[in-house]
Amino acid sequence: MGRRPLPRGLARVVWRQAADIVARLLRADGARRGGASVKSLTLRDGIAAKKATHAVVCECLKHVPLLREVLDDARVPLTEDAEEDGDDEEEEEEEEEEERRRARGGGADATSSRDADADDERTRRRGVPRSAAYVLTYELLFGAGLPDDAEEEEEEATRRRRPPDVVADVVAARATLIAGYRDALTRSLRTRLRRAKASSVEAYLRALPGGDLVASVSTHSRHARVNVLKISVADAMKRLSRLSPALGAFEYHADPHVPNLVVAPPGTDLHAHAMVKRGELILQGKSSCFPAVALGARAGWHVVDACAAPGNKVRSIHWFPYDRVGETTHVAAVVGAGGRVFAFDADRARLRRLKANVASAGAGEIVVARCEDFLSVDVNDPEYAEVRAVLLDPSCSGSGTSGTRGDYLLAAARGDVVGGSGADVAGGSGADVAPPDARVAALAAFQTKALLHALSFPSAERVSYSTCSVHALENERVVKTVAPRALELGYTLEKALPAWHRRGLESESAGLEAIGGAECLVRADQREDDCEGFFVAVFARPPPPGAAERAAAAKAKREAEAEAAREKREARAAKKRARSDGSEGVVAVGGSGGGGGGKKKKKKKGAKSKPGRLFK
């Protein structure tokens, strides 16, 4: 058996959630629609026991090729998953009839007994939905297990005593049916392994197309950036060192390539850590820290974060890194309180989330978040005259994050070579595994427009371009496409992150020599570099002519406007104080409880109060 068993009630919830997610993923994959990833579905809001659900979904998908054969061999009655999310019409009608029958039923014990029997009978008659069968069979053969006969009898007695629960009873009935085929499934598994001459299940899976790549997907270390806007690195290290394990301490060391980055062992769960909750540590992947480090902005600079969160024009085909907001707050930490970061996003909901995360990180006074498409920003607006650097991390195919997102699991589930759909696990440093499709081509066109726009800010001296893609079409070829215009504007490629070992593709070096060469570019391999796949290019030039004058004029105007605003606030405050001082001698005649109407009279100076009368 695998994991430690969950409490039975929670286990049913996990099985149901996992089956729904597996069905959705396989349905979308079969239609080649793409869409949500394993990670986004298992860790979204509303999912109970996220860690357990994520583990079951990943392992189930990994074993689907074997589970499919074993279920067929054992002749387990199956039904295909519904075409759309939720139950199909027939099942909905049966459940509605079930509810009506239960409402007409007699006592609780008798009703629960009939309900349990009815659920079991219906499951036997209709069969188990295929994805639910995958999840439950995985649990039976490789996971935490399903109830045995004695546990099933006890469970059955419990079901008969408690109030009816349609969903739980359906899951329990499906688990009972699968458990009833325990011997047949076990025999089928042994037969399959023997015929394949596989010494273990792992060996069987490795022999499948792409199996070696699935087995070799690495688990990355856990990275967290010290947020210097809230705590110094020295204080953070001291605090981490003295925390007891009960308070959330963990083994850690400093990253050799990214300043202020803490590295913890793979699997370390830091989400509930006190320093994370206080915004002193920000959970961020190592490679997503590269753009802010390579950009080379300095304290007090004004920076444009061009695509701070999802929401640009071709949003439906975009992939945005899960820790994209971390880049915004990272740049804010670099420029500090005297600097400014202009962050753009065209989606209001995501912009609100961006603002909330920025405030939590203590960067609310630094980051100016705007609901605007970056491509529509007027680069000649005087407000941006002081912008000296632009960070562009646009939407991309996300093929460098396929290991984290679980794309390789879907490839394994359908029996394809991992990476055959373009989201390859192995291709972090190699050429595209398959020719990029129309989706990637559309993304590359958008990325080229965005990069040309970023290079056009008149006072900018540095521009970083990055993606979490392995495709040369989105990386080196975008740089080659903009190279002529960049050279016209005085830009050349700077060697980004000089200490990093993996550089741009040599096969794509032709056309890059004039602007600096592939050696200036950075690539990260998600299988070999303990981080997600990434690409970074940095364009740099001397301060352009007139930039200092424009910046000085813009700064003088900004300071004058700030001074005028301060004087206006002080005038309003003085006026408010004057009104308050003028009403000090006013007394109320008549209480709130009696008559008098609450009128106010000014008390004459030196006037004596008349003595009150005790009796009339």
Per-residue model confidence as pLDDT tens digits over 582-613: 765 554 444 444 444 444 445 455 545 444 44
pLDDT of residue 415: 62
User: Is position 475 annotated in a ligand binding site?
Assistant: no
Query: How far is it, in rounded angstroms, from Cα 5 to Cα 249?
Result: 26
| Mean pLDDT over the full length of the chain | 80
In the chain, % of residues over pLDDT 90? 46
User: Is position 378 annotated in a ligand binding site?
Assistant: no
User: Is position 312 annotated in a ligand binding site?
Assistant: yes
| Buried/exposed code over 163-191 (b: 16+ C-beta within 10 A; e: otherwise) | ebeeebbbbbbbbbbbbbbbeebeebbee
- Asked if pLDDT for residue 416 goes beyond 80, the answer is no
E strand or H helix at 342: strand 340-345
What pLDDT, in 10s, does the model give residues 433-452?
445 678 899 999 999 999 99
What pLDDT, in 10s, does the model give residues 45-80?
789 988 899 889 988 988 998 999 999 999 999 999
Cα-trace Rg, the chain? 32
Contacts of 395 (CB under 8 A, 6+ apart): 307, 310, 312, 314, 315, 317, 318, 319, 320, 443, 446
What pLDDT, in 10s, does the model give residues 196-229?
999 999 889 888 876 666 665 667 898 999 999 9
Q: Which CATH class is domain 222-283?
A: alpha beta
How far apart, in Å, are the Cα atoms of 363 and each of 253, 280, 360, 555, 572?
Answer: 26, 12, 8, 21, 28
- Asked if pLDDT for residue 190 goes beyond 70, the answer is yes
What letter represents residue 399's amino acid?
S
- The answer to whether the CB of 272 falls within 8 A of the CB of 279 is no
Q: Which of 343, 345, 311, 315 is CA-nearest to residue 330?
A: 343
Task: Indicate the length of the chain as a whole number.
Answer: 616
Q: 3-class DSSP state for residue 536?
A: strand
What pLDDT, in 10s, does the model give residues 501-558?
999 999 999 999 999 999 999 999 988 899 999 999 999 999 998 888 888 888 888 8
- Asked if pLDDT for residue 99 goes beyond 60, the answer is no
Query: How far is it, in rounded angstroms, from Cα 115 to Cα 513?
Result: 74
- Asked if pLDDT for residue 92 goes beyond 90, the answer is no
User: Is position 393 annotated in a ligand binding site?
Assistant: yes
User: Is position 117 annotated in a ligand binding site?
Assistant: no
User: Is position 373 annotated in a ligand binding site?
Assistant: yes
pLDDT greater at residue 326 or residue 115: 326
pLDDT of residue 116: 52
Residue with tokens 């070579």: 417
What pLDDT, in 10s, does the model give residues 235-284?
998 888 776 454 455 678 899 999 999 998 887 778 778 898 899 999 89
The values of phi and psi at residue 189, to 5°, are -60, -45
From 181-190, 344-353, 469-478, the region with the lowest mean pLDDT: 344-353
Q: pTM for the full model?
A: 0.71
pLDDT greater at residue 213 or residue 500: 500
User: Is position 313 annotated in a ligand binding site?
Assistant: yes
- The answer to whether the CB of 525 falls within 8 A of the CB of 279 is no
Residue 468 falls in the annotated catalytic set: yes
Catalytic residue among 60, 396, 468, 531: 468
From 92-101, 135-144, 176-185, the region with the lowest mean pLDDT: 92-101
Most confident of 31-40, 313-322, 472-481: 472-481
pLDDT of residue 115: 53
Tell how far CA 183 is from the center of its chain.
41
pLDDT grade for 412, boundaries at 50, 70 and 90: low
Average the pLDDT over 283-289 and give the result.
92
Q: 3-class DSSP state for residue 314?
A: coil
pLDDT of residue 163: 55
User: Is position 356 annotated in a ligand binding site?
Assistant: no
- Asked if pLDDT for residue 161 goes beyond 50, the answer is yes
CATH: 3.40.50.150, 1.10.579.10, 3.40.50.300, 3.40.50.620. Which one for 287-544? 3.40.50.150
User: Is position 309 annotated in a ligand binding site?
Assistant: yes
In the chain, % of residues over pLDDT 70? 72
Domain boundaries, the chain: 8-207, 222-283, 287-544, 546-577
Most confident of 149-153, 468-472, 547-551: 468-472
User: Is position 88 annotated in a ligand binding site?
Assistant: no
What pLDDT, in 10s, does the model give residues 356-398?
989 999 999 999 999 999 999 999 999 999 999 999 999 888 8
From 137-141, 296-300, 430-434, 534-538, the region with the lowest mean pLDDT: 430-434
pLDDT greater at residue 106 or residue 173: 173
